[in-house]
Structure 1
Amino acid sequence: MQDTDFGVEHQDPGERTAAEQTPASWDGQAAMPRQHAQGVIWRGFDSPDLGNWDNYQVQDDETGGNIQNRSPLAAKRMVVKPVEDLTHRHYAELYNFYVHVTVNPCHTGVSRSELIHRPARGTAEGTQYYYRWSTWFPRDLNRHIDFPMGPGIGGVWQVITQWHQASDSGSPPLALSAKSNKNKQDEPYIGLELSSRSEPVVWKTPLIYNAWHNFVLFVRYSNSVSDAPGKGGKVKLWYSMDMALPQPVTPFLSVKTTAAPDVTKGPYLKHGLYRSKDYYGPLVSHIVHCGIVEGDSLDAVLTP
């Protein structure tokens, strides 16, 4: 990266894309799929600003501990920059922009710097999307650019990307979090969490600093849970590091993801960093996100 400032899987036929149906069409050593893309619906960073996002949220000491929407602080806390050294262009990035997110101290409560996107085609029952992005957890202690990790105890958490229910309160049904194993601060991990499950962490991988973590997530929005093909809320995750093509790491998981017919009032994506007061309250955190896109197929989000 350039010098910054900073069991048996149940297959739902309705969710299988051409890429999954024809694995022979993929070159396992190549960075790009050969399959033709169907369509990217939305890109988060195709210009050096936050103009493609519906809203921004900042919460720290400078906001008095309150959430400020579309605050002028957003452009300071979430800075979009070009990747000038193309040798660091990762596996499928087209526009070469990244966002360097800073979360400043908040001594009175939680803190955040988050971007909000409402799915471009709404979230009516059964609507489905694929999301692709990459995340970099910086550690450069000499320049005070760091993604700190607290002890793995209750109340200490950090959410890096979430799909939030229509309301502004409550735990999101779907989130990617960065945590440490219980009482082991030296074993941080990234976890996929489904809040409605008795064991919410359904997948995790070690959090490696100063490397790209690549994600693709399939979401079907629904207010019901069903194992029947084509029914109910579904989630599936693909993952890789650095230049590798993301590979499936979970089956299709049934979960209530929530849905709504109105694009302005339904579930929404939040991208950035949202963290607890415990341990993180007085700290400054840095995280980098790159290349988030929303598409109607796996092929679309994997093809630049």
Structure 2
Amino acid sequence: MWMVPSLALAGIVWRGDFETGNRSQYSGEQMVSSDRLLVVTNPVAQGKYALKVTVKQGDDPINSSGNRNELVYQGGEKEGSEYFYRWNVMFAPDFPSVDTWQLFTQWHHTGCCGSPPLEFYVRGEEIRMVLNHDNTIPWRTKLQRGVWHEFILHVKWSSKASTGFVELWHNKQKVLQKRSAVTMFAGQGNYLKLGLYRSDTVKPVGVLYHDGFVQATALEDVLTTTPPVPDAGTPTVDAGTPTVDAGTPTVDAGTPTVDAGTPTVDAGTPAVDAGTPAPEPEPDAGEPVVPEPVDAGTPPQVDSGVTVDAGTGGVQPPVGVLPAEGGEEGAGCNSSGGSLAALTLLGLLGLARVRRRRSP
């Protein structure tokens, strides 16, 4: 059961749960076409809508490294800010098993390049949480397809390990005790990217689903799974959402290679449900169940037990310097399409694309 601390109920800071029936809760999108980020009515983890994400080899909407289709939310996480985040992810039954990174959630730094400070991705048959300041994997678990994974992440954002920390629940079990960590790069902010971003060497079509994203300042605020009733005037189909983040540049200054010889394959993406009207949401069944504070199967929770991904080599960029895009062996970095600084550099210097461990 959940062990709820005595924190003041402070309310929800932001919802990205798709209960508007479209993608309008987010700041922008990086997608090659609207069918890659599609709001659907089945399957859902809560409420009436979820997001179906599809990535095919060659999907490169921002002329960067890797292949992706992602949503961007400019939440403006700053030094010293502290939040709880809850979201649900389901990997399709045929989600590829490959020995490389397939990133599904990240908090990217505001600089143009390099691996993000904090990210979640799949490698092979594992789901991993990674801190890229020191390239550690404080938590991992076996990948299960066709089921909803619920994550609750508690973070204090800071460029100092003496201030910053992370704490994690997975499927209502606490799997990572509060742990000191560098959660942002000095002199920069963070923002959310949600979808699927993966190595461009992956050939099979990748499909997963996101639902129920909530940001709050207290644990109680993210425990409920009942979304608010949508505005009666809100459209219930995903038809008019803009396809470009107007404030996000479309070039990654340090992006490298593309697998030019690999064909694009559509392995059978599930059918799209775009026209179902929004029924009334189910009432809250009651108080949420509270999990035990410690997961018996929890991986190492302290620095001395942290597992290091041998292939990773992220480095914290110095203050005021834009880091090079990259991540855990290319484990996906994202700058919502690369920063404006990156775009300017490309225009002035005509930089050739350079292979990075992970793109923005």
Relative to the length of structure 1, the TM-score reads: 0.66
Counterpart for residue 243 of structure 1: none
Q: 1:250 aligns with which of 176, 190, 198?
A: 176
CA RMSD of aligned residues (A): 2.4
The aligned residue for residue 166 of structure 1 is 110
Is the Cα–Cα contact under 8 Å of residues 133 and 215 in structure 1 kept in the other structure? yes
Which residue of 2 is the match for residue 116 of structure 1?
72
Higher strand share: 1
One-letter amino acid of the counterpart of residue 78, structure 1: L
CA offset at residue 106 of structure 1?
1.4
Counterparts of 2:181 and 2:37, CA distance in 1: 31
SS of corresponding position for 1:20: coil
2:189 alignment partner, SS class: coil
The one-letter amino acid of 1:271's match is: L
Name 2:205's counterpart in structure 1: 284
CA distance 1:284–1:197, change in 2 (3 Å): same
What is the alpha-carbon distance in structure 2 between the residues aligned to residue 237 and residue 115 of structure 1? 22
> What pairs up with 1:98-137 in 2 under 5 angstroms?
98-106=50-58, 109-119=65-75, 122-137=76-91
Instruction: Pick from 267, 273, 294 the counterpart of residue 190 of structure 2.
Output: 267
Percent identity over the alignment is 34
Q: Which residue of 2 aligns with 1:78?
A: 37
Q: Does the aligned pair in 2 maintain the 1:134–1:213 contact within 8 Å?
A: yes
1:56 equivalent to 2:20? Answer no
Query: Residues 151-207 of structure 1, C-alpha deviation per residue, up to 9 Å, x if partnerless?
Result: x3xxx2111101111113101111111012xxxxxxx01111111225x21111111
Out of 9, 16, 19, the position equivalent to 1:46 is 19
Kept in 2: contact 1:102–1:286 (CA 8 A): yes
- CA displacement at 1:102 relative to structure 2: 0.5
Offset of 1:260 from its aligned partner?
8.4
What do residues 207-259 of structure 1 show as CA deviations (whole Å, max 9, x unaligned)? 11111111001121112110xxxxx221111001xxxxx12110112222227
User: Which consecutive residues of structure 2, in runs of 5 or more, have no partner in the other structure?
Assistant: 227-360
- What displacement does 1:118 show? 1.6
Contact 1:102 1:287 in 2 (8 A): yes
Q: Quick one: which amino acid aligns to residue 138 of structure 2?
A: V
Q: Which amino acid aligns with 2:205?
A: V
TM value normalised by structure 2: 0.56
Number of aligned positions between the proteins = 219
Letter in 2 for 1:286: V
Match of residue 170, structure 2, among 230, 239, 245:
239
Change (3 A) 1:89 1:79: closer
Whether the 8 Å CA contact 1:123–1:259 is kept in 2: the answer is: no
Is 1:201 aligned to residue 137 of structure 2? yes
Q: 1:290 to 1:147 in 2, by over 3 A?
A: same
Provide the C-alpha distance between the structure 2 equivalents of 1:287 and 1:248, rounded to a whole number of angstroms: 24
Q: What is the one-letter code of the residue matched to 2:147?
A: A
Contact 1:125 1:259 in 2 (8 A): no
Displacement of 1:89 after TM fit? 5.9
Structure 2: which amino acid aligns with 1:103?
Answer: V
Q: Secondary structure at the match of 1:294?
A: strand
1:14 aligns with none
